[in-house]
Structure 1
């Protein structure tokens, strides 16, 4: 069995990630993810073009926000998109998730309470609450909560995959457990780690709103960093802001 990044990415994007985006789309909140979104070039040119957002690591957040200010709506497509993840190590996947979490921390204070919406932490809370209010067995409630969450995630993944999974149920279970348990390590590393991220062999220091404040050399540099040019608008404060998931 291969529990590399391919399975982890598919399980993550087809369960936790998909669940979040379907929920905010149902609520009518503008949402976008930079690695799989389609925006007309004319709309992008109308807000300054791609270069206007090059100063930010979370450029998809600001691009979608500015486009939505022009009166356009961004919605989740009803047709599932084919996932095309590469085969990388578990460490590469966790490093990617830590980087994403660091960006979300600089875009919204809600990122600091994300651990509470994970399956295991919410199972603990459900067990404690039902034990206190209804005197139910906390361990039984927690176990049932996790089992139901696992089944629902499998159903969601089948829906978003558009058919049978390219791996077995056992492989899904292993990848699911790795994703769920590693989430707490990812949050901890993001919350306590330095305000820097590594992207394409370069180390960037994150400022407010994911703005790049500085660039540090890296011995592991494999390619040149993307050009950083014009600073975009300030961080949006509207209650109808876009929930960011950066690439």
Structure 2
């Protein structure tokens, strides 16, 4: 059964369909405005931004947003705009303070000035495949679909804590994200790469209305869901290069996610421990031992088999996503990294012993970090501290 699941994942991400929208003429293709909010120098920033210039799609514009005129990302954007002079692109400097969320404040002007109804909000720390836009528009054009998003995927960790982060994103998080969106019983959206129609979001007050929330991605998804518009995922990933992460940063990220979710999707957050391997293993071991004491004489025996099967399944998913991950292929001297396709590079923790070292740490830390996050309310984002409030909003500290 596990082999079958692994094969299905490989078919989804390694056998991506050819986008139909990309073959249309500019007159027939739906126009798309790509919004890329920027702040500082993310890892592989130039390669990330280059991937949006290289989209194989006939009709789109690029809007880069920075809050400050002295932001260090501006020279990179200007160089790319000059290099890709045939691409309709603009740099917008300045922000509108509409709430506590700095990302929303940064994008409001770009959102209001976008030429097209379809908006693609793409974070600056991710890169995408050149056919991602075409496949996404194909999904968005289907009846009843109001939002298209992509699976977050982590690559290139350069520290042990970053390897643990990569294992989390590419196993536990990926499983739950894919499962919830496959069943489709509720909105479950991460805002790294989202497409929707501005005309739909404007019915909920427009982008500025969500500036009071820190987890605006999920709130936007719920607002569209409430209109009867369902979500879809194309066979693409939003790939992020992790680089170096400290153990403190890893723990802070996990706590931040839980604290943001516990007031917005309370029921789902409360059940989260029961999706973890250790809690499930302990419950299953106890039940199996008491129901079938002759067949399962020891809880430790059942737990060992359970944990080994869980780890193997996670490793298959992990390998599948890494094998299918893609990046822009930088061309010319303007490339920041000159690395080309990340699939040609050996990725840290790619092989079984390295994976298990990071996977064990992730699994053992999951419940303690969850408990720590649930009893607190403070988070840190982009060097600013916030306190999460019970209505889903936040206040700066």
Answer yes or no: same fold by TM over 0.5.
yes
2:189 is paired with a residue of what secondary structure?
strand
Whether 1:208 aligns to 2:390 is yes
1:20 and 2:176 aligned: yes
How far is the alpha carbon of 1:48 from its aligned partner? 2.6
TM-score when normalising by structure 2: 0.50
Question: Where in structure 2 are there 5+ consecutive unaligned residues?
Answer: 1-156, 325-342
Q: Which one has a larger percent strand, Structure 1 or Structure 2?
A: 2
Q: 1:149 aligns with which of 300, 310, 316?
A: 310
- 2:220 equivalent to 1:63: yes
What residue number does 1:182 align with? 365
CA contact (8 A) 1:3 1:175 kept: no
Query: Aligned in 2, Cα 1:84/1:48: closer, same or farther, shift over 3 Å?
Result: farther
Alpha-carbon offset, residue 61 of structure 1: 1.4
1:84 shift after superposition = 2.4
Runs of at least 5 residues in structure 1 that lack an aligned partner in the other structure: 217-247
Q: Go from structure 1 to structure 2 and tell me whether the alpha carbon gap of 1:8 and 1:109 turns closer, same or farther (over 3 Å shift).
A: same
Query: Is residue 2:276 matched to residue 1:95?
Result: no
**Number of residue pairs aligned between Structure 1 and Structure 2:** 214
- Write out aligned runs for 1:66-145 (5 A): 66-107=223-264, 108-135=266-293, 136=296, 137-145=298-306
- The equivalent of 1:220 in structure 2 is none
TM-aligned CA distance change 1:17 to 1:115, over 3 Å: same
State the TM-score, normalized to the length of structure 1: 0.78
Q: Which has the higher helix share?
A: 1
Residue 162 (structure 1) aligned with residue 344 (structure 2): no
CA distance in structure 1 between the aligned counterparts of 2:165 and 2:233, rounded to whole angstroms: 19
The 3 A distance-change label for structure 1 pair 28 and 176 is same
Q: Deviations over 1:73-129 (max 9, x none)?
A: 212222344332242112101101001111121121332232222101111111110
Instruction: Give the 3-state SS of the residue equivalent to 1:130 in structure 2.
Output: helix
Structure 2 CA distance for aligned equivalents of residues 64 and 8 of structure 1: 28
The worse-fitting range, judged by mean Cα deviation, of 150-159 and 69-78 is 69-78
Q: Tell me by how many angstroms 1:42 deviates.
A: 4.2
Runs of 4+ deviating beyond 4 Å: none
SS at match of 2:385: strand
> Could you tell me how far apart the structure 2 residues matched to 1:8 and 1:175 are?
5
1:20-77 deviations in whole A, cap 9, x for unaligned? 0111122123321112333344443443332110101111111111122334321222
Highest RCO, 1 vs 2 (Cα 8 Å, sep ≥ 6): 1
**Residues 31, 76 of structure 1: CA spacing in aligned structure 2 closer, same or farther, 3 A cutoff?**
farther
